[in-house]
A = this chain, B = another copy of it.
């Protein structure tokens, strides 16, 4: 992990906590760091495991609570993978967006809503629904994994 980049992000998360009136306790700092240290998605169980490597006594509930808190601040978002399981991703709390997730390495990109808003409006109008929320999730192979994949294929051939 590149310290410069991630400690920035850690700090941003901590600030978000404080701004919302929550304490920046050591546990929450730890979770913030771990979250910031992943470029992609992670499960609660993974995070817990990583957390326990640094602070043995951190409770399962504490990790879930921290994640829930971060989710409520929109610093983190929970996504539903095609497999049916859940994962969390760090993301930009400031604007409505969607996620593009690499199914190989788990890396995730924020996608601006863009034209989708128009499309969603139109669908609502056409069906007479008052739309309250929408969610778009994209899954695929990221450039790096794509490259790695073809490289491997070539070595085998």
Contact = CB atoms under 8 A, between A and B. Distances in A.
Interface of A: 78, 80, 82, 84, 86, 100, 102-103, 109, 111, 114-116, 119-120, 123-124, 127-143, 146
A119 B124 contact: no
Task: Determine the main DSSP class of A at the interface with B.
Answer: strand
A146 B130 CA distance: 8
A146 B124 CA distance: 13
A49 to B, nearest CB: 22
Given A100-B129, A127-B100, A129-B102, A136 B135 contact: yes
Contacts of A128: 142-143, 146
Given A100-B123, A111-B123, A139 B132 contact: yes
17 contacts: A80-B80, A84-B86, A100-B123, A103-B132, A111-B123, A111-B127, A115-B119, A116-B116, A124-B140, A128-B142, A129-B142, A130-B140, A130-B141, A130-B146, A133-B138, A133-B139, A136-B137
